[in-house]
Amino acid sequence: MSERILDFLRRRQTDGPCVVVDLDIVRDNYAAFANALPDTSVYYAIKANPAPEVLNLLHELGSSFDCASVGEIEMVLATGAAASRISYGNTIKKERDIARAYALGVRLFAVDCVEEVEKIARVATGSRVFCRVLCDGIGAEWPLSRKFGCDPAMAPDVLERAHCLGLEAYGVSFHVGSQQANLWAWDLALGMAADVFNEMSRRGIELKMVNMGGGFPTRYLKDVPGVPSYGEAIFHALTKHFGNRLPITIVEPGRGMVGNAGMIEAEVVLISRKSSDDELRWVYLDIGKFHGLAETMDEAIRYPIRTPKDGDETAPCILAGPTCDSVDVMYEKTPYELPVSLSIGDKVLIEACGAYTTTYSTVGFNGFAPLASHVI
Amino acid sequence: MSERILDFLRRRQTDGPCVVVDLDIVRDNYAAFANALPDTSVYYAIKANPAPEVLNLLHELGSSFDCASVGEIEMVLATGAAASRISYGNTIKKERDIARAYALGVRLFAVDCVEEVEKIARVATGSRVFCRVLCDGIGAEWPLSRKFGCDPAMAPDVLERAHCLGLEAYGVSFHVGSQQANLWAWDLALGMAADVFNEMSRRGIELKMVNMGGGFPTRYLKDVPGVPSYGEAIFHALTKHFGNRLPITIVEPGRGMVGNAGMIEAEVVLISRKSSDDELRWVYLDIGKFHGLAETMDEAIRYPIRTPKDGDETAPCILAGPTCDSVDVMYEKTPYELPVSLSIGDKVLIEACGAYTTTYSTVGFNGFAPLASHVI
Q: What is the pLDDT of residues B15-26, one digit of tens each?
A: 999 999 999 999
Q: Are A297 and B327 in contact (CB under 8 A)?
A: yes
Q: Answer yes or no: do A230 and A119 share one domain.
A: yes
The answer to whether residue A35 is domain-embedded is: no
Query: Positive or negative, the Cα torsion across A254, A260, A261, A267?
Result: positive
The pLDDT of residue A135 is: 84
Q: Answer yes or no: do B213 and B315 share one domain.
A: no
The answer on pLDDT for B55 being more than 80 is: yes
CA distance A132 to A175: 8
Mean pLDDT of A16-25: 97
- Point out the residue among B89, B362, B368 whose CB comes nearest to the CB of A69: B368
Q: What is the DSSP letter of A252?
A: -
Q: Do B290 and A360 touch (CB under 8 A)?
A: yes
Mean pLDDT of A224-230: 85
The answer to whether residue A338 is domain-embedded is: yes
Using the Cβ of B148 and the Cβ atoms of chain A, whether some distance falls under 8 Å is answered with yes
Closest to A102 (Cα-Cα) out of A59, A73, A79, A75: A73
Using the Cβ of B345 and the Cβ atoms of chain A, whether some distance falls under 8 Å is answered with yes
Q: Do A113 and B270 touch (CB under 8 A)?
A: yes
Mean pLDDT of B323-341: 95
The answer to whether residue A34 is domain-embedded is: no
Using the Cβ of B360 and the Cβ atoms of chain A, whether some distance falls under 8 Å is answered with yes
Confidence tier at A299 by pLDDT (50, 70, 90): confident
Q: Are B358 and B25 in contact (CB under 8 A)?
A: no
Q: Answer yes or no: do B248 and B294 share one domain.
A: no
Reduced to 3 states, what is the DSSP secondary structure of residue B90?
Answer: coil
CA distance A147 to A134: 9
Determine the distance in angstroms separating the CA of B112 from the nearest CA of chain A, rounded to an integer.
8
Closest to A21 (Cα-Cα) out of A307, A356, A290, A331: A356
Helix (H) or strand (E) holding A158: helix A155-164
Q: Do A327 and B145 touch (CB under 8 A)?
A: yes
- b/e map B14-43, b = 16+ CB within 10 Å: eeebbbbbbbebbeebbebbbebbeebbbb
CB neighbours of residue B275 within 10 Å: 12
The pLDDT of residue A216 is: 83
Using the Cβ of B153 and the Cβ atoms of chain A, whether some distance falls under 8 Å is answered with yes
B72 contact residues in A (CB cutoff 8 A): 366-367
Rounded percentage of chain A residues whose pLDDT exceeds 90? 84
Q: Which amino acid is at B291?
A: H
More confident: A176 or B156: B156
The pLDDT of residue B298 is: 85
Q: Answer yes or no: do A232 and A321 share one domain.
A: no
Interacting residues of A258 by C-beta distance below 8 A, sequence separation 6+? A21, A26, A29, A48, A49, A54, A354, A355
Determine the distance in angstroms separating the CA of A114 from the nearest CA of chain B, rounded to an integer.
8
Mean pLDDT of A1-23: 95
The answer on pLDDT for B221 being more than 80 is: no
Reduced to 3 states, what is the DSSP secondary structure of residue B182?
Answer: coil
Using the Cβ of A50 and the Cβ atoms of chain B, whether some distance falls under 8 Å is answered with yes
Determine the distance in angstroms separating the CA of B304 from the nearest CA of chain A, rounded to an integer.
22
CATH number of the structural domain spanning residue A314: 2.40.37.10
The pLDDT of residue B90 is: 98
Determine the distance in angstroms separating the CA of B325 from the nearest CA of chain A, rounded to an integer.
8
Q: Which of B258, B281, B297 is the last residue of a domain?
A: B258
Closest to B23 (Cα-Cα) out of B62, B55, B1: B55
The answer on pLDDT for A153 being more than 80 is: yes
Question: Chain A interface, mutation test: which of B43, B196, B274, most A Cβ atoms within 10 Å?
Answer: B274
The pLDDT of residue B282 is: 97
CB pairs under 8 A between A and B: 213
Q: Answer yes or no: do B351 and B366 share one domain.
A: yes
The answer on pLDDT for B123 being more than 90 is: yes
Q: Are A360 and B365 in contact (CB under 8 A)?
A: yes
Reduced to 3 states, what is the DSSP secondary structure of residue B152?
Answer: coil
Q: Which of B240, B258, B276 is the last residue of a domain?
A: B258
What's the mean per-residue pLDDT of chain A? 94
Using the Cβ of B17 and the Cβ atoms of chain A, whether some distance falls under 8 Å is answered with no
Q: Are B47 and A364 in contact (CB under 8 A)?
A: no
Question: Chain A interface, mutation test: which of B366, B368, B371, B373, most A Cβ atoms within 10 Å?
Answer: B366
Helix, strand, coil percentages for chain A (3-state, nearest 5)? 35, 25, 40
CA distance B130 to B210: 8
Confidence tier at B1 by pLDDT (50, 70, 90): confident
The answer to whether residue A153 is domain-embedded is: yes
Candidate from A135-139, B176-180, B279-283, B311-315 with smallest mean pLDDT: A135-139
Q: Do B363 and A362 touch (CB under 8 A)?
A: yes
List residues of B with catalytic annotation. 324
Confidence tier at A139 by pLDDT (50, 70, 90): low
Q: Answer yes or no: do B312 and B190 share one domain.
A: no
Count of alpha carbons within 13 angstroms of residue B374, beta-carbon side? 19
CA torsion angle for B213, B216, B220, B226 (degrees, to 10)? 180
Count of alpha carbons within 13 angstroms of residue B269, beta-carbon side? 22
Q: What is the DSSP letter of B142?
A: E
The pLDDT of residue A141 is: 65
The answer to whether residue B18 is domain-embedded is: no
Confidence tier at B143 by pLDDT (50, 70, 90): low
CA distance A185 to A150: 18
The pLDDT of residue B230 is: 86
CATH number of the structural domain spanning residue B210: 3.20.20.10
Q: What separation in angstroms does the CA of B188 have from each of B136, B251, B255?
A: 9, 16, 22
Closest to B208 (Cα-Cα) out of B115, B306, B311, B131: B131
The pLDDT of residue B142 is: 60
CA distance B183 to B230: 6
Rounded (10°) angle between helices A95-103 and A70-77: 10
Q: Do A92 and B322 touch (CB under 8 A)?
A: yes
Q: Answer yes or no: do B219 and B277 share one domain.
A: no
Q: Which residue range is the domain that position A173 belongs to?
A: 89-253
The answer on pLDDT for B275 being more than 90 is: yes
Mean pLDDT of B245-251: 96
- Point out the residue among A329, A366, A370 whose CB comes nearest to the CB of B363: A370
The answer on pLDDT for A231 being more than 70 is: yes
The answer to whether residue B13 is domain-embedded is: no
Closest to A258 (Cα-Cα) out of A114, A86, A55, A111: A55
The pLDDT of residue B144 is: 65
B325 contact residues in A (CB cutoff 8 A): 47
Q: What is the pLDDT of residues B30-54, one digit of tens each?
A: 999 999 999 999 999 999 999 999 9
Q: Answer yes or no: do A300 and A157 share one domain.
A: no
CA distance B135 to B150: 9
The answer on pLDDT for A24 being more than 90 is: yes
The answer on pLDDT for A137 being more than 80 is: no
Q: What is the DSSP letter of B73?
A: H
A286 contact residues in B (CB cutoff 8 A): 94
Determine the distance in angstroms separating the CA of A256 from the nearest CA of chain B, rounded to an integer.
16
The pLDDT of residue A218 is: 82
CA distance A338 to B318: 41
Using the Cβ of A363 and the Cβ atoms of chain B, whether some distance falls under 8 Å is answered with yes
Mean pLDDT of A327-356: 96
Q: Which amino acid is at A365?
A: F
Q: Do A151 and B93 touch (CB under 8 A)?
A: no
Q: What is the DSSP letter of A312?
A: B
Query: Positive or negative, the Cα torsion across A180, A181, A182, A188?
Result: positive
Residue A196, phi then psi, degrees to nearest 5:
-65, -40
Using the Cβ of B329 and the Cβ atoms of chain A, whether some distance falls under 8 Å is answered with yes
Q: Answer yes or no: do A166 and A301 share one domain.
A: no
More confident: A18 or B13: A18
CA distance B353 to B360: 12
B275 contact residues in A (CB cutoff 8 A): 150-151, 153-154
Q: Answer yes or no: do A242 and A311 share one domain.
A: no
The pLDDT of residue B219 is: 81
B267 contact residues in A (CB cutoff 8 A): 94
B144 contact residues in A (CB cutoff 8 A): 326
Closest to A12 (Cα-Cα) out of A263, A307, A255: A263
Determine the distance in angstroms separating the CA of B39 from the nearest CA of chain A, rounded to an integer.
26
Instruction: List the 180-239 stretch of A: residues with Cβ below 8 A of B.
Output: none
Interacting residues of A133 by C-beta distance below 8 A, sequence separation 6+? A112, A149, A150, A151, A152, A155, A172, A173, A174, A192, A193, A196
Closest to B109 (Cα-Cα) out of B47, B155, B96, B93: B93
Using the Cβ of A280 and the Cβ atoms of chain B, whether some distance falls under 8 Å is answered with no
Helix (H) or strand (E) holding A96: helix A95-103
Using the Cβ of B297 and the Cβ atoms of chain A, whether some distance falls under 8 Å is answered with yes
* Cβ neighbourhood burial of A202 (10 Å; 0-12, 13-18, 19+): exposed
B153 contact residues in A (CB cutoff 8 A): 275-276
Q: Answer yes or no: do A266 and A212 share one domain.
A: no
Mean pLDDT of A285-290: 96
Confidence tier at A283 by pLDDT (50, 70, 90): very high
Residue B338 Cα to chain centre, angstroms: 28
The answer to whether residue B8 is domain-embedded is: no
Interacting residues of A190 by C-beta distance below 8 A, sequence separation 6+? A210, A212, A234, A237, A238, A240, A241, A242
The pLDDT of residue B292 is: 95
Candidate from A2-11, A240-249, A358-367, B212-221 with smallest mean pLDDT: B212-221
Strands (E), B258-371: 262-272, 281-285, 305-306, 314-320, 329-339, 347-350
Q: Do B367 and A72 touch (CB under 8 A)?
A: yes
Q: Which of A196, A219, A253 is the last residue of a domain?
A: A253
The answer to whether residue A51 is domain-embedded is: no
Number of domains chain A is built from: 2
Using the Cβ of A65 and the Cβ atoms of chain B, whether some distance falls under 8 Å is answered with no
Residue B256, phi then psi, degrees to nearest 5:
-65, -20
Interacting residues of B162 by C-beta distance below 8 A, sequence separation 6+? B111, B117, B120, B121, B129, B131, B168, B169
CA distance A252 to A43: 5
Q: What is the pLDDT of residues A166-216, one digit of tens each?
A: 999 999 999 988 778 888 888 999 999 999 999 999 999 999 999 999 888
Q: Do A115 and B272 touch (CB under 8 A)?
A: yes
Q: Answer yes or no: do A280 and A133 share one domain.
A: no
- Point out the residue among B90, B275, B360 whose CB comes nearest to the CB of A324: B90
Q: Are A86 and A65 in contact (CB under 8 A)?
A: yes
Q: What is the pLDDT of residues B191-209, one digit of tens each?
A: 999 999 999 999 999 999 9
The pLDDT of residue A343 is: 98
- Point out the residue among B93, B150, B324 whose CB comes nearest to the CB of A89: B324
Q: Are B167 and B128 in contact (CB under 8 A)?
A: yes
